[in-house]
Amino acid sequence: MSQRVLTTESGAPVADNQNSATAGAGGPLLLQDQHLLEKLARFNRERIPERVVHARGSGAYGHFEVTDDVTDFTHADFLSAVGRRTEVFVRFSTVADSLGGADAVRDPRGFAVKFYTEEGNYDLVGNNTPVFFIKDPIKFPDFIHSQKRDPFTGRQEPDNVWDFWAHSPEATHQVTWLMGDRGIPASYRHMNGYGSHTYQWTNSRGEAFFVKYHCKTNQGIRSLSSEQAAEIAGRDPNSHQTDLLQAIERGVHPSWTLHVQLMPAAEASDYRFNPFDLTKVWPHQDYPLRRVGRLVLDRNPDNVFAEVEQAAFSPNNFVPGIGASPDKMLQGRLFAYADAHRYRLGVNHTLLAVNAPRATTAQNYGRDGLMASNPQDRYAKNYEPNSFDGPVETGRPLSAPLAVSGHTGTHEAPAHTKDDDFFQAGELYRLMSAEEKSRLVANIAGGLSQVSRDDVIETNLAHFHAADPEYGRRVEEAVRALRED
């Protein structure tokens, strides 16, 4: 077989890829060396802006198979029959660190699933925790700024982290998750994934249900202590990527069982706490888990940049039978995620192979823009409605309408009978074993004791006291001991 010929990007053959063109044997380089200039110019542009959050990630392809009938609750086509399979792409990530950070760090993990359904792509965007630090998206930029590198010191500062949490008592529940044993997963395979937000399902009769997603790992939960994580991060900063890649390559295909909690829409207004509050979980005794199907990952990407770095997930990518809820954080992310991808990847990022529909074809009137590559019939119109057989609307809403009332303005979320920022954090603490409690207290004290201002420390301690008196006392004693050393 003849050797393939190296070419420039325009297809011209390259005569010499080892030596740049010069003015004489020892002279300066020539501006006319198109091959050299093209290589250097492309090299300078190999990177795109990294994600502000979820920058460091890994991904894999696989499938989702329905194992249980849920047609009483949603008319989503990809969930319509037991045994039905849908191709998926899943991206895991750390949240706060940059693209060059280590995998084995104490940080929530992103857990995003793209279902390539026959009715379009459905993106389920969540984390490995069922709750989050805040409940209103207006606080999100400030929260992330407090967790990222300080603009002066260039490092994450305990003062910033804990000062923000001191002013955000609703974060106590997630802080308890993060500082507990599950704060550092051993690998992406050994953690659960949650939709975290509340979404809406609608069945064929138009009945609406609010839904929470739980992907339970079939490998079992495995986590790292702070000491184990520090050792692993120093030995292999890419430990989670290495584990996922090698497991799939050797035929060990990780899987998760998808369960949902379902709340009839009529019950939401009278529930004892706000069911759309991202800082709270729905107790399973109120809304038990219902099994839906099995998620399996069995193929690694061919190119990490093209398929993992350029993968774009957005919670506003719904399909018929699934929609949004009044969850404020979800509502903010319906805009923010897609807009982040338009900035990073361009307005035509949905045409990239990893983001384009696979089981159907996108048909719309979007045209032009940077890197436009969607070929169109020369006579196709770019407006709607038209008289030239272009794609038309269905008139069928994706989900049931949400009832709204009241006056416009900036409102706090309506209070339910038992809304509280601390109760569920206390419940989580009381569920822990004695050893788990000790590690939780040590992890919190290790960070909080580094804060320079006493008032910030005292405010955070008050949150732990409010969650559980023993919890608060033990954290306070541990912080005091560390600061006296």
| Strand runs labelled E in 412-472 | none
How far is residue 127's CA from residue 131's CA, in Å, rounded to a whole number?
Answer: 8
Inter-helix orientation angle 454-467/469-484, to 10°: 150
DSSP bridge partners of 293: 66, 258
| 303 catalytic residue (yes or no) | no
Pairing state between β 85-94 and 57-66:
antiparallel
Tell me whether residue 397 is exposed, middle or buried, using C-beta atoms within 10 angstroms of its C-beta: 0 to 12, 13 to 18, 19 or more: exposed
Of 35, 75, 121, 127, which is the active-site residue? 127
**Secondary structure letter of residue 234 according to DSSP:** H
Going 113 to 115 to 120 to 124, the CA torsion angle's sign is negative
Tokens of 99: 């693209």
CB 321 within 8 A of CB 74: yes
CA angle 177–180–186, rounded 5-degree value: 100
Beta strands in 161-289 (DSSP E): 193-194, 199-202, 208-217, 255-264
Burial class (CB in 10 A: 0-12, 13-18, 19+), 106: middle
Tokens 């805040």 map to which residue? 134
Q: Are 444 and 153 in contact (CB under 8 A)?
A: no
Among residues 54, 173, 240, 259, which one is catalytic?
54
Active site residue 127: yes
Known catalytic residues? 54, 127
